[in-house]
Amino acid sequence: MKPVGEISDLPDVMAIPSAVGGAHPSQDETADSRPLLGTHLNDLYELTKPRMNFLVVITTMVGFYMAARGTAEWRTLLPTLLGTALTAASAAVLNQVIEREHDKLMPRTHNRPMPTGRISVSEAMVYGISLGIAGLTLLVTLVNPLTAIIGAFTLLSYIFVYTPLKRLTTLNTVIGALPGALPPVMGWTAVTGKISPEAIALFSILFFWQMPHFLAIAIMYRRDYEAGGFKMLPVVDPDLVMTSRQIVLYSVALIPISFGPALVKMSGSFYFATALVLGLVFLAFGINCARTRTRGDARKLFFVSIIYLPVLLVALMTNKL
């Protein structure tokens, strides 16, 4: 995407003389104004990391669905999903404000709206804070206070704990997995108003799944992270010995963890069998990645991870008890 002017340039583009005040704009002037406005709106949309936000919405909906028992509860689904999505979008925007100088140094992020200056810092700050306020307001007024509190914790821990720790310690991945695993809990509490063993089971699956998933990404982009000054484990573990060990350990742990919904009577034997098969396949790719320590096998593990999760969640929902 080609860089365009910052938000300060927009008034000049949109201040087209009207028939009352002067001549009509030429066809060329009108055509030139449309891409700029459209591109700017697209940049604002890109700042929210929509693909990551999609996963947040889906896992929130899974938690909601698993908790729902009656038709009346479904009235809060839309504000739950919208409030969670806005809160997650706020975290994504503010994260990019903080990391804009580091993103300039990495090939995969240097063309984002913030590093290129297509979105100004002040505009992004107002945008990100507004999204967070809107999301949390929806949750506290139309859902319940507990879900709003979890949403606020997710937002604040992502911005003020996980984001700065990415440049300080390799434990940032573990710490970042905590807010990353909370969306299904928010879906659950939106219905029940409490954190129960079922919510913990959903949280645990997301937490343990994230570790090999993000370690695979960190192997794939280790040079980018090193250039950006981020202390991801593969950056400080040049031979990938510790990284490989953690991939295997978390993949092994994910198998019994994934049995949690069956153990707390959320789902039945079909889910249990599916979780076992998926877990063994995931582990096999994790072991292969740990054995070869190549970027290609890390990529394979990454793709398996993004197949594993939706298949597991579909099995969970179809076998709901």
Q: Which residues contact 263 (CB under 8 A, 6 or more apart)?
A: 201
Which residues lie below 8 Å from residue 184, measured CB to CB, with a gap of 6+? 59, 60, 62, 63, 199, 202, 203, 206
- pLDDT at position 147: 98
Cα 35 off chain centre by: 28
DSSP symbol at 74: G
More confident residue, 34 or 131: 131
- Domains of the chain and CATH, by start: 35-195 (1.10.357.140), 197-321 (1.20.120)
Please give the C-alpha separations between residue 214 and each of 94, 111, 234, 315, in angstroms, as whole numbers. 20, 22, 11, 23
The residue ranking higher by pLDDT, 199 or 27, is 199
CA neighbor of 261 nearest in space, from 74, 14, 63, 33: 63
What does the alpha-carbon distance between residue 320 and residue 201 come to, in Å, rounded to a whole number?
Answer: 14
Query: Which among 194, 104, 183 is positioned nearest to 151, based on CA atoms?
Result: 183
Phi–psi pair at 54, nearest 5 degrees:
-60, -45
Mean pLDDT of the region 289-303: 96
The DSSP symbol for 25 reads P
Q: What is the pTM of this model?
A: 0.84
pLDDT value, residue 247: 97
How is 242-303 classified by DSSP, letter by letter?
HHHHHHHHHHHHHHHHHTHHHHTTSB-HHHHHHHHHHHHHHHHHHHHHHHH--HHHHHHHHH
Rounded to whole angstroms, the Cα distance separating 110 from 118 reads 12
Tokens of 265: 């009577």
Residue 71's pLDDT band (boundaries 50, 70, 90)?
confident
Mean pLDDT in residue range 198-204: 97
Contacts of 62 (CB under 8 A, 6+ apart): 184, 187, 202, 313, 316, 317
Q: What is the pLDDT of residue 37?
A: 57
Tens of pLDDT, residue by residue over 14-36, are 222 232 233 333 333 333 333 45
Share of the chain above pLDDT 90, in %: 78
Radius of gyration of the chain (CA): 22
